[in-house]
A and B are shown apart, each in its own frame.
Chain A
Amino acid sequence: MQKEYKTLKSVAGPLILVEGVEGVKYEELVEMTTTEGAIRMGRVLEVHNDKALVQMFESTQGITTEGTKAKFLGKPMEIGVSPDMLGRVFSGSGKPIDGGAAVIPEKKLNINGAPLNPYSRDFPNDFYQTGISTIDCLNTLVRGQKLPIFSGAGLPHSRVAAQIARQCKVRGEESNTAVIFAAMGVTFEEAEYFTNEFKKTGAINRSVMFLNTAADPVVERIATPRLALTTAEYLAFEKDMHVLVILTDLTNYCEALREVSAARKEVPGRRGYPGYLYTDLATIYERAGRVKGKKGSITQIPILTMPEDDITHPIPDLTGYITEGQIVLSRDLHREGIYPPVNVLPSLSRLSPTARKVTREDHEGVFGQMYAAFARGLEVRDLAVILGESALSETDLKYLKFAKAFEKRFITQEETEDRSIEETLNLSWELMTMLPKSELKRVKSEFIEKYLPDTKQA
């Protein structure tokens, strides 16, 4: 029997202390009914004898210490999942907001999930072609990977993410795919951009959206990514779908976490974020991957905006320690009008060595060569600023030109341009003609014979 309590002791920020309770469990879901009859959800954060500390997922506005009723539901927060969720839009706490009817759940799942046994994981190795050269060639994405986009305020991360969602595919496979999109604290316009983008391309029919906009309650954001990932796990491992999960913006999520932590008066770690931020983020990011014996997979593309473009800020820092690489966007490139402004040097995909083996024979060498040549080109550019171009050697000048062309032709591409990996690799070879043949040390000579365009003919 569920009991209702009217013994609210205090309300502070998102936290409510209820006294005199009995039989309350940790992580239990709580339903608060205000005097006006509004229902708000929360969960038990701590229970000590007859006192329960409840963290609300919704605003505490209108909650009174007298009159408000707290009902402990005896179960953790769950989401009802069903294949019918595809094509629907939900709020950050999982209620339909597209005007449609409620989804009839096939089953209910605890949104916290359970840790995946590392022994049961299957190593991701299917090359996921995004059609973006800087990702496919240099930071190859693999199905089942978690690869965040490190961005900054005002950079076009949404467009990049939408492009990836639109174009990504495993080639030669008619696959059963779905996109799950979770917005946390983004502006209405940004959320709208994704909705429209998905509608325009018809992708909406195979997507599930969870939207918590900036106007929605802050603490609701703590549940949003978990709702999305629970749905993803259901679709991937029970319905055999390949699910791409886009989470934006993790910075807002972490801030919500900090707010709760501060309200609890916990000892803060760096920059006021709670000491368990790493563990908490891990319970989100680690819900990507493949499971032995299951057909589906979960690929995660979390987006976060680095405060002050600072990659050492706790949020990008801890994220980088958990995810399998990162795509870093650059403000300088963006200012020069280059799209997608991928900052190649600090970007990384940890799973790309396996993926490079299955694309084309020359990929490994091209990857090394393009990377090294561009890095050298940038060094020369720095040198040219100090010494002037006239002081550069002939080879260095070629590198300087290469770097420019790399930015203009390799990095730059249209938002709608879907380059196949062959196109990307051929483009790489074309750019390599700008360098003396003796400098192409990282590609095998047989591939130079085979793929390097003959410059005399051209």
Chain B
Amino acid sequence: MKEGKVIKVSGPLVVANGMRDAKMYEVVRVSDEKLMGEIIELDGDEASIQVYEDTSGIGPGENVYRTGMTMSVELGPGLLTSIYDGIQRPLQLIEKVAGAYITRGIDVPGLDHSAKWKFKPLKSKGDTVQGGDIIGEVEETTLINHKIMVPPTIGKATLTDIKSGEYTIDDVVAEVKDEDGKSHELTMLQKWSIRRPRPVNQKTVPKEPLVTGTRILDTLFPIAKGGAGCIPGPFGAGKTVTQQSLAKFCDAQVIVYIGCGERGNEMTDVLMEFPHLKDPNTGEPLMKRTILIANTSNMPVAAREASVYTGITIAEYYRDMGYNVALMADSTSRWAEALREMSGRLEEMPGEEGYPAYLGSKTAEFYERAGYVKCYGSEGREGSVTAIGAVSPPGGDLSEPVTQNTLRVTKVFWGLDAKLAYKRHFPAINWLASYSLYMDNVRDYWKKEVSEEYEPLKIEAMNLLQQEASLAEIVNLVGMDALSPKERLVLETAKSLREDFLFQNAFDYEDAYTPLKKQYWILKCILSVYHEALPLIERENFSFDDFLKLPIMEKVVKAKDIPRDQLEKYEDLYKEIKTAIQAYGSGKASA
């Protein structure tokens, strides 16, 4: 293919001429150092290229080599447990090639092409298959069976050959003949362009919650498997801790965690912690179901832009196998800033705050790749990608363009609040501002799997918290004494809800993860105090101070400490609360 010549260099943007027949989003190699870049604009003979590596020392006259390929990722066994940069280069290999610092022009494959995998056929010769159908599987980790699928580009075809045994991802494991009589050799490796969503048969409405083990999320603002959510918050409010705790405990089978323009040490923390953490659902190391993409803030800005697409393409691939995948992107604001920087260098007309006018459509495109789907192919599998993006609004101001564009396309909003973080109330999610539009989707699941009462309890808890907010204003003005006993009880219950239910310590083993049933029981115990106390408080001789000093109150506070495998104890606790308060009530009545 013809080579182009560099005519302009401005930061990560390189313009080259002699590129007349180049394709949009084609991958090119700039200069003899072979820096990887992608064409993002074409104008006659000239192509604007965003370069994924540092461009120092590049100048006009140097060659630009074409590859004819669009920006793609390698999909196949070996993805899990990997740690990639934004353009799917394994960081471990980069270290081997270049040492501790990432230098330029490093070309390493996304997957290990020499490793052998044990391929187990699930179809036999003569079977009819089509794109998306599973022909065999490989045990990728102890947690995940990697399904080998016919690439979506192939139509209806007949299997003419399939063999079991140990193969590398480049070895041919099967052969099909399509309806036109053309033969295709199938390997365990697929390449897919990161900017094109992988096809599905049909998108469907999500119907199950993604259980995260974080009480405020699961009970008050649930997200559905296949849903899209966002976590905006100022710095220090706990975005990353929340995202990481989602990655650790949520009940998706595969996790894709994208550290997009974030802190290096934070990624190191994840890299060091995950291999030692056990998945609460299976007891296996978390790393075995996880793919990490780390493009820290000091790594080249264009690769940051690509990292979210790399991540979601990998997520879609596992979804196609029939898995529930959760994708966390921390933080999408850095991705938007990368867009802004490239747009500025292209001298495009800016929209709000210098962001390009297409920010909204790009954001929507990304979140729309999440969803609960009937997978591509003839087999009727279902899978899902749940996308959760952190947003870092400047100064915590939610009216800025990235947050606003994200809110438009996500249905769950977990708003982090600096004030709560200052009080060290974690997770610092503001229960009055946050919302979830998936309540209708998860209702049936809740009724069937948890309890009929779960939703009414949740609504009551929300009401109490809401009332607390308005009462708090009165208290601040005129003091506690002005409140009626009922209002006082509301305040005490809301306090208990905040401190004993919503507050959760992400660093404590037992507290960090709470299954849905346990959440239900804790909530029920706390609210039972409220229900039992209601008839008592209007009595003349009722004293709040005495009531709060009842020994049973200690037990309510400690309700969340009951281990998650001893849920039967809650039944007893619940009864104990009822009897204790009733006994206190009758004692008062006779006195």
Residues of chain A at the chain B interface (Cβ within 8 Å): 22-28, 45-50, 76, 110, 112-124, 144-145, 237, 266-270, 275-276, 278-279, 282-283, 286-287, 289, 291-292, 294, 311-314, 317-318, 320-322, 324-326, 345-346, 348, 350-351, 353, 368, 371-372, 375, 383, 386-387, 391
Complex Cα spacing A311 to B337, Å: 20
Within 8 A of A (CB), among B243-273: 259, 261, 263-269, 271-272
- Chain A residues, CB < 8 A from B236: 320, 325-326, 346, 348, 350
B69-93 interface bits toward A, Cβ cutoff 8 Å, 1 = contact, 0 = none? 0000000000000010000000110
Query: Which of B36-44, B189-197, B296-304 participates in binding chain A?
Result: B296-304
User: How far apart are A303's CB and chain B's nearest CB, in angstroms?
Assistant: 18
User: How far apart are B587's CB and chain A's nearest CB, in angstroms?
Assistant: 23
Residue of A nearest to B8 (CB): A48
- Chain B residues, CB < 8 A from A48: 7-10, 15, 60
Within 8 A of A (CB), among B1-49: 7-11, 15
- Chain A residues, CB < 8 A from B272: 123
- Chain A residues, CB < 8 A from B394: 270, 312, 314, 317-318
Query: Which of B96-104, B306-314, B461-469 participates in binding chain A?
Result: B96-104
Q: A237-B100, A320-B236 are in contact. List 8 more A-B contacts (CB 8 A).
A: A27-B55, A45-B10, A266-B344, A269-B340, A276-B337, A286-B297, A317-B395, A324-B263
Complex Cα spacing A72 to B391, Å: 43
- Chain B residues, CB < 8 A from A270: 353, 394
- Chain B residues, CB < 8 A from A123: 265, 268-269, 272
Residue of A nearest to B344 (CB): A267
- Chain B residues, CB < 8 A from A318: 394
Instruction: Give 24 CB contacts A-B under 8 Å.
Output: A23-B61, A25-B58, A26-B58, A47-B60, A76-B57, A114-B102, A115-B296, A120-B95, A120-B99, A120-B100, A123-B272, A237-B100, A267-B350, A275-B337, A275-B344, A279-B261, A282-B261, A286-B296, A289-B264, A292-B100, A317-B234, A325-B236, A372-B424, A387-B479
Complex Cα spacing A287 to B263, Å: 11
Complex Cα spacing A120 to B268, Å: 8
Q: Is the CB of A116 within 8 A of B263?
A: no
- Chain A residues, CB < 8 A from B56: 25-27, 76, 110, 112
Q: Is the CB of B297 within 8 A of A322?
A: yes
Name the contact of A278 in the complex, choosing from B55, B98, B103, B297 (C-beta under 8 A). B297
- Chain A residues, CB < 8 A from B103: 114
Q: Does any Cβ of A come within 8 Å of B182's Cβ?
A: no
Known A23-B61, A275-B337, A386-B476; contact A116-B102, beta-carbon cutoff 8 A = yes
- Chain A residues, CB < 8 A from B424: 368, 371-372, 375
Residue of B nearest to A376 (CB): B423
User: How far apart are A311's CB and chain B's nearest CB, in angstroms?
Assistant: 8
Q: Is the CB of B269 within 8 A of A114?
A: no
- Give the most central of B266, B268, B300, B340: most A CB within 10 Å: B268
Q: Is the CB of B92 within 8 A of A119?
A: yes
- Chain B residues, CB < 8 A from A76: 56-57
Q: Is the CB of A268 within 8 A of B235?
A: no
- Chain B residues, CB < 8 A from A49: 7-8, 60
Complex Cα spacing A122 to B296, Å: 15
- Chain B residues, CB < 8 A from A22: 61
- Chain A residues, CB < 8 A from B265: 121, 123-124, 144-145, 289, 324, 351
Complex Cα spacing A278 to B299, Å: 12
Complex Cα spacing A284 to B589, Å: 70
Known A269-B353, A286-B296; contact A118-B91, beta-carbon cutoff 8 A = yes
Q: Is the CB of B422 within 8 A of A345?
A: yes
- Chain B residues, CB < 8 A from A120: 91, 95, 99-101
B521-542 interface bits toward A, Cβ cutoff 8 Å, 1 = contact, 0 = none? 0000000000000000000000
Q: Is the CB of A268 within 8 A of B60?
A: no
- Chain B residues, CB < 8 A from A289: 264-265, 268
- Give the most central of B55, B269, B272: most A CB within 10 Å: B269
User: How far apart are B102's CB and chain A's nearest CB, in angstroms?
Assistant: 5
- Chain A residues, CB < 8 A from B344: 266-267, 275-276
Q: Is the CB of B337 within 8 A of A113?
A: no
Q: Is the CB of A286 within 8 A of B354?
A: no
User: How far apart are A296's CB and chain B's nearest CB, in angstroms?
Assistant: 12
User: How far apart are B369's CB and chain A's nearest CB, in angstroms?
Assistant: 25
Complex Cα spacing A324 to B334, Å: 17
B477-520 interface bits toward A, Cβ cutoff 8 Å, 1 = contact, 0 = none? 11101000000000000000000000000010000000000000
Known A47-B8, A119-B95, A348-B236; contact A279-B59, beta-carbon cutoff 8 A = no
Q: Is the CB of A383 within 8 A of B476?
A: yes
- Chain B residues, CB < 8 A from A28: 57, 59
Complex Cα spacing A311 to B419, Å: 14
- Chain B residues, CB < 8 A from A346: 236, 418, 422
Q: Is the CB of A24 within 8 A of B297?
A: no
- Chain A residues, CB < 8 A from B101: 113-117, 120
User: How far apart are A274's CB and chain B's nearest CB, in angstroms?
Assistant: 8
Q: Is the CB of B507 within 8 A of A118?
A: no
Name the contact of B477 in the complex, choosing from A294, A314, A321, A386 (C-beta under 8 A). A386
Name the contact of A117 in the complex, choosing from B58, B102, B392 (C-beta under 8 A). B102
Residue of B nearest to A371 (CB): B424
- Chain A residues, CB < 8 A from B479: 387, 391
- Chain B residues, CB < 8 A from A287: 298
Q: Is the CB of A26 within 8 A of B337?
A: no
- Chain B residues, CB < 8 A from A391: 479, 481
Residue of B nearest to A318 (CB): B394
Q: Is the CB of A117 within 8 A of B271?
A: no
Complex Cα spacing A22 to B60, Å: 8
Complex Cα spacing A348 to B430, Å: 20
- Chain A residues, CB < 8 A from B58: 25-26
Complex Cα spacing A121 to B423, Å: 32
Complex Cα spacing A191 to B540, Å: 71
- Give the most central of B54, B59, B83, B479: most A CB within 10 Å: B59
Known A324-B263, A351-B265, A375-B422; contact A47-B337, beta-carbon cutoff 8 A = no
- Chain B residues, CB < 8 A from A50: 60
Name the contact of A321 in the complex, choosing from B102, B235, B271, B350 (C-beta under 8 A). B235
Known A26-B59, A289-B265, A322-B263; contact A115-B396, beta-carbon cutoff 8 A = no
Q: Does any Cβ of A come within 8 Å of B573's Cβ?
A: no
Q: Does any Cβ of A come within 8 Å of B341's Cβ?
A: yes
User: How far apart are B247's CB and chain A's nearest CB, in angstroms?
Assistant: 16
Known A25-B56, A120-B100, A286-B296; contact A278-B337, beta-carbon cutoff 8 A = yes
Complex Cα spacing A27 to B423, Å: 46
Q: Is the CB of B267 within 8 A of A118?
A: yes
Q: Is the CB of B296 within 8 A of A279?
A: no
Residue of B nearest to A326 (CB): B236
Complex Cα spacing A27 to B14, Å: 13
Q: Is the CB of B341 within 8 A of A119?
A: no
Name the contact of B397 in the complex, choosing from A312, A325, A368 (C-beta under 8 A). A312
- Give the most central of A266, A278, A325: most B CB within 10 Å: A278
Q: Does any Cβ of A come within 8 Å of B294's Cβ?
A: yes
Q: Does any Cβ of A come within 8 Å of B94's Cβ?
A: yes
Q: Is the CB of B60 within 8 A of A116?
A: no
Complex Cα spacing A275 to B346, Å: 13
- Chain A residues, CB < 8 A from B300: 115
Name the contact of A279 in the complex, choosing from B60, B337, B392, B477 (C-beta under 8 A). B337
Known A23-B59, A27-B56, A278-B334; contact A320-B235, beta-carbon cutoff 8 A = yes
User: How far apart are A382's CB and chain B's nearest CB, in angstroms?
Assistant: 8
User: How far apart are A23's CB and chain B's nearest CB, in angstroms?
Assistant: 6
User: How far apart are B294's CB and chain A's nearest CB, in angstroms?
Assistant: 5
Residue of A nearest to B59 (CB): A25
Complex Cα spacing A346 to B424, Å: 10
- Chain B residues, CB < 8 A from A122: 268
User: How far apart are A79's CB and chain B's nearest CB, in angstroms?
Assistant: 15
Complex Cα spacing A123 to B476, Å: 44
Complex Cα spacing A353 to B512, Å: 15
Q: Is the CB of A119 within 8 A of B91?
A: yes
